[in-house]
Amino acid sequence: MDGARIPLVAMRDISLAFGGVHAVDRASIDLYDGEVMALVGHNGAGKSTLVKILSGAYQRDDGMIAIRGEEATISNPRDAKRYGIETIYQTLALADNVDTAANLFLGRELRTRWGTLDDVAMEAQARRVMGRLNPHFERFKDPVKALSGGQRQSVAIARAILFNAQILIMDEPTAALGPQETAQVGELIRKLKADGLGIFLISHDIHDVFDLADRICVMKNGRVVGTARTADVTKDDVLGMIILGKCPPAAVPGPGAMAVA
Amino acid sequence: MTPATMPARHTRPGRSSPLAAFLKATELDTRMLGMVGALLLIWIAFHLLSGGLFLTPRNLWNLSVQSAPVAIMATGMVLVIVTRNIDLSVGSMLGFLGMVMGVTQAELLPKLIGFDHPATWMLTLAIGLALGLVLGALQGFVIAYLGIPSFIVTLGGLLVWRGAAWWVTSGRTVAPLDATFRLMGGGPEGSIGATWSWAVGLIACAAVVLSLMNSRAQRKKFHFPLRPIAAEIFLGGVGCALILAAVTIANAYPWPAGSVRRYAEANHIVLPADGLFIAHGIAIPVLIAIGVGVAMTFLATRTRFGRYAYAIGGNPEAAELAGVNTSWVIMKVFMLMGLLAAVAGAISIARLNAATNAEGTLAELLVIAAAVIGGTSLLGGIGTVAGAMLGAVLMQSLQSGMVLLGVDTPLQSIVVGAVLVVAVWLDTVYRRRV
């Protein structure tokens, strides 16, 4: 996390407006491999929008994205996946009427040599990856709608790790989970971090953030208030950034920081 | 305790009913079984009420031919409804495409290549199918890329294509049609005869057995749970029995005396005293419908296109985020619907031996009803091709039965409408319970 390393992801001066609403306003953020960067802020601060620009769901109006130092063109979700960017959306983005394997491979199906869907191979891989996350999961043939919230979350996470993501975006991954499953997700994040992935973590849970994240970036009203290492700031500092936009000395201020009188 | 380790409702060891155990072993869909049961009930009821007229080879053969056009279009309508769209224009498309095909073979092609040319039927069909694709592409483009709701676009299509059908000939009926083309409509010449029917039946049985064997081999390869051998044998046996029974019925329907006489004269055969039994066999439109059904089932379950259609129906946003080109999939779904309307149109005009501009009026309602009775949910994401075809047969059985009983046409409409609502209500109840 020193300046000499090339960031895995560098987003510079990203702007996106929906009509008159500046969802994201000149936001800059970067992510190094093997680190968890938490993105926090009040509702509507632009956190989800910023990462959706990275994942290809939205097209930015302005700004630049660089992956490993090279400028990247991300105009749709396929492009993002090609750069190794996988996303776990807040709404999970699962198709409720099809089963687990179909969801895991949606858009990237395995095919037999005749061009038909290779359902058995997809199910075999599904069993393997789900086994790593949730060993007791057996309901591979049921439509995803019939699964519990935690199981659906496992499917969404499995989808992200199945394709060897290098950059993982997790938007409120534990919002619908109980304590045990939240701990499991935490374990997974630590393991993936050790494997060298860079992870963007959006969370409202400040305890989770301080537990898991190496650095934290606060957004307010579409602008970045500041970025800091979690070791250098306290929870109160972060709350101050979120609510007031007040940037503590240990944090690097952004365009959204309150002007110091 | 995760939900996965809790025992499922029906399979607590030692407590499951024989029926539940049977269903679990064979992995048969209870809803489909319920529909087959309802169909059998309707058939038996009509048979008893009509004094033994319904379950005869002749009536069942006619039923199969009458169901064919709606069944063919219903397979396409399943995909349309699955993607959370609707197509109200299929009847009008059928009429317009039928008129174009009629005019092509009766007036256009004779001018170019002469009457009774062997390629007339092929060229006509090709033009009809291509035009069907174009019509479907036009509607699909407007729906998928311009974002206009399918209800409105196809409602417009319903009016536009019906008007266009009239315009082709200023309302004049076109008749007669090319002799080879007519074979697609059924009738004595439009059936494949006893020998070929047995051949088709045996091939179908072989296909059923091979598919069961293949699926078992695949499961073994990946160490997935297997069906009990008894269940596989049962499924194979019942499947083959049904196929062979259907072929037997088709072969039990003889040609009418006039056709037999003409055939005998043409082939210099001396007619025996008590007549010659020439079996109809499977009708060509029925073969086409079965072929379409198999192809559409394959498309829906084994191709990416089908998988994407269902995913779009389940969660369009999820499909977009997964990188699926949802607009192109939806456009293709409507193109397919146009193509199938052309096939149904060809069969309809061939049966009539004439192209009229009123052909297919209100067919879209029957097609949608067939799909919905067959288990397709109007909310999208759920539906099977086989169910839709069964739904078409069920609706046609109702109509044929009522005609046999001499029920007035207005009362027929009332009954069909009531049955549709009851069927969907039962489906809703079933889904809530399961």
ipTM at complex level: 0.88
DSSP secondary-structure letter at B190?
A: T
DSSP secondary-structure letter at B105?
A: I
Cβ atoms within 10 Å of A142's Cβ, excluding its own: 13
Residue written as tokens 């049985």?
B205
Q: What pLDDT is attached to residue B264?
A: 85
For chain A, the maximum distance between any two Cα atoms, rounded to a whole number of angstroms, is 69
Q: What pLDDT is attached to residue B8?
A: 45
Asked whether residue B334 falls in the same domain as residue B424, the answer is yes
Residue B100: inside a domain, yes or no? yes
B83 CB-side CA count, 13 A: 30
Closest alpha carbon within chain A to B1: A136
Distance in angstroms (rounded) separating the CA atoms of residues A15 and A28: 9
Start-to-end CA span in chain B (Å) = 22
Residue B276: inside a domain, yes or no? yes
Asked whether residue B157 falls in the same domain as residue B250, the answer is no
Residue B324 to residue A106, Cβ atoms within 8 A: yes
**CB–CB of B143/B330 below 8 Å?**
yes
Q: How many residues does chain A have?
A: 261
Residue B321 to residue A148, Cβ atoms within 8 A: no
Distances (CA, A) of B270 to A184, B254, B266, B276: 86, 18, 11, 9
Asked whether residue B126 falls in the same domain as residue B263, the answer is no
Distance in angstroms (rounded) separating the CA atoms of residues A70 and B325: 27
**CB–CB of A228/A40 below 8 Å?**
no
**CB–CB of B353/B180 below 8 Å?**
no
Residue written as tokens 């044998």?
B233
Residue B296: inside a domain, yes or no? no
Residue B8: inside a domain, yes or no? no
Q: What is the pLDDT of residues A81-115, one digit of tens each?
A: 999 999 998 888 999 999 999 999 999 999 998 88
Q: What pLDDT is attached to residue B7?
A: 44
Residue written as tokens 């000499």?
A4
Asked whether residue B320 falls in the same domain as residue B423, the answer is yes
User: Looking at beta carbons, which residues of chain B come within 8 Å of A91?
Assistant: 317
Q: Which of A87, A109, A147 sits opposite B304 (nearest CB)?
A: A109
Q: Are strands A223-229 and A252-253 parallel, antiparallel or unpaired?
A: antiparallel
Asked whether residue B95 falls in the same domain as residue B210, the answer is no
Distances (CA, A) of A15 to A32, A87, A98, A257: 22, 20, 36, 17
Q: Which amino acid is at A117?
A: L
Mutual orientation of helices B363-373 and B90-103 as an angle, nearest 10°? 130
DSSP secondary-structure letter at B191?
A: B
Distance in angstroms (rounded) separating the CA atoms of residues B192 and B283: 6
Reported for B22-31, long-range contacts at CB under 8 A and 24+ positions apart, including other chains, are B25/B227, B25/B228, B25/B230, B25/B231, B26/B227, B26/B231, B26/B234, B26/B235, B27/B227, B27/B231, B28/B235, B30/B430, B30/B434, B31/B375, B31/B387, B31/B427, B31/B430
Asked whether residue B424 falls in the same domain as residue B315, the answer is yes
Asked whether residue B50 falls in the same domain as residue B110, the answer is yes
Closest alpha carbon within chain A to B298: A116
CB under 8 Å to B188, separation ≥6 — which residues? B255, B256, B259, B278, B280
Threshold 0.95, pTM exceeds: no
Which residue, among B78, B82, B83, B307, would best test binding to A if mutated, counting the most A CBs under 10 Å from its CB?
A: B307
What is the rounded average pLDDT for all residues in chain B? 89
Q: What is the pLDDT of residues A67-76, one digit of tens each?
A: 998 999 999 9
Q: What pLDDT is attached to residue A149?
A: 82
Cβ atoms within 10 Å of B298's Cβ, excluding its own: 13
CB under 8 Å to A167, separation ≥6 — which residues? A8, A9, A31, A54, A67, A83, A84, A85, A86, A197, A198, A199, A200
Q: Which of B4, B222, B318 sits opposite A95 (nearest CB)?
A: B318
Q: How many residues does chain B have?
A: 434
Percent of chain B with pLDDT strictly greater than 90: 60
User: Looking at beta carbons, which residues of chain A come within 8 Å of B313?
Assistant: 97
Q: What pLDDT is attached to residue B119?
A: 86
CB under 8 Å to B415, separation ≥6 — which residues? B398, B402, B407
Of B139-148, B269-278, B317-326, B417-426, least confident by mean pLDDT is B269-278
Asked whether residue B38 falls in the same domain as residue B152, the answer is yes
Q: What pLDDT is attached to residue B10?
A: 44
Decide if pLDDT at B275 tops 80. Answer: no
Q: Which sign, positive or negative, has the C-alpha torsion A195, A198, A203, A207? A: positive
Residue B227: inside a domain, yes or no? yes
Distance in angstroms (rounded) separating the CA atoms of residues B391 and B261: 38
Question: How many beta-carbon pairs under 8 angstroms link A with B?
Answer: 94
Residue B19: inside a domain, yes or no? no
**CB–CB of A51/A197 below 8 Å?**
no
Q: Which residue has the higher pLDDT, B20 or B165?
A: B165
The torsion angles phi and psi of B217, rounded to 5 degrees, stand at -65, -40
Q: What pLDDT is attached to residue A95?
A: 94
A133 touches chain B (CB under 8 A): no
Residue-wise burial string across A248-261, b where 16 or more C-beta atoms lie within 10 A, e elsewhere: beebebbebbeeee
Residue A102 to residue B219, Cβ atoms within 8 A: no
Decide if pLDDT at B2 tops 50. Answer: no
The nearest CA of chain A is from the CA of B313 a distance in Å of 8
The torsion angles phi and psi of B185, rounded to 5 degrees, stand at -95, 0
Distance in angstroms (rounded) separating the CA atoms of residues B34 and A199: 50
Q: Which of B2, B303, B311 sits opposite A95 (nearest CB)?
A: B311
A93 touches chain B (CB under 8 A): yes
Burial degree of A3 (CB within 10 A; 0-12, 13-18, 19+): exposed
Distance in angstroms (rounded) separating the CA atoms of residues A171 and A52: 10
* Residues paired with A22 in a beta bridge: A17
* Residues paired with B254 in a beta bridge: B279
Sheet strands side by side (includes A70-71): A21-31, A9-18, A62-67, A70-71
Asked whether residue B218 falls in the same domain as residue B337, the answer is no
Residue written as tokens 């499922």?
B8
Q: Which amino acid is at B260?
A: V
Distances (CA, A) of B430 to A7, B30, B31, B198, B421: 55, 10, 8, 38, 14
Residue B74: inside a domain, yes or no? yes
DSSP for chain A?
Answer: --TTSPPSEEEEEEEEEETTEEEEEEEEEEE-TT-EEEEEESTTSSHHHHHHHHHTSS--SEEEEEETTEE----SHHHHHHTTEEEE-TTTT--TTSBHHHHHTTTS--B-TTSSB-HHHHHHHHHHHHHHH-TT----SSBGGGS-HHHHHHHHHHHHHHTT-SEEEEESTTTT--HHHHHHHHHHHHHHHHTT-EEEEE-S-HHHHHHH-SEEEEEETTEEEEEEEGGGS-HHHHHHHHHT-PPPTTSEE-TTSPPP-
Asked whether residue B131 falls in the same domain as residue B269, the answer is no
**CB–CB of B53/B61 below 8 Å?**
no
Q: What is the pLDDT of residues B259-268, one digit of tens each?
A: 888 888 888 8
Which of A:2-21 have CB within 8 Å of B?
none
B318 touches chain A (CB under 8 A): yes
Residue B317: inside a domain, yes or no? yes
- Assign B50 to helix, strand or coil: coil
Q: What pLDDT is attached to residue B292?
A: 97
Cβ atoms within 10 Å of A230's Cβ, excluding its own: 19
The nearest CA of chain B is from the CA of A109 a distance in Å of 7
Kindly indicate the confidence band of residue A184, based on its pLDDT and cuts at 50, 70 and 90.
Answer: confident
Start-to-end CA span in chain A (Å) = 31
A138 touches chain B (CB under 8 A): yes
The torsion angles phi and psi of B399, rounded to 5 degrees, stand at -65, -45
Distance in angstroms (rounded) separating the CA atoms of residues A31 and A11: 9
Kindly indicate the confidence band of residue A4, based on its pLDDT and cuts at 50, 70 and 90.
Answer: low
Q: What pLDDT is attached to residue B434?
A: 65
Given B247, B282, B317, the domain boundary residue is B282
Q: What is the pLDDT of residues A15-31, one digit of tens each?
A: 999 988 999 999 999 99
Give the structural domain span for B378: 30-181+303-433
Which of A:181-240 have CB within 8 Å of B?
none
Q: What is the pLDDT of residues B31-81, one digit of tens each?
A: 888 889 889 999 999 999 988 889 999 999 999 999 999 999 999 999 999
Asked whether residue B40 falls in the same domain as residue B151, the answer is yes
User: Looking at beta carbons, which residues of chain B come within 8 Å of A117?
Assistant: 301-304, 307
Of A242-246, B236-240, B388-392, least confident by mean pLDDT is A242-246
Query: What's the structural domain count of chain B?
Result: 2
Residue A116 to residue B222, Cβ atoms within 8 A: no
Distance in angstroms (rounded) separating the CA atoms of residues B314 and A142: 14
Asked whether residue B118 falls in the same domain as residue B228, the answer is no
Is-cis flag, bond preceding B176, omega within 30?
yes
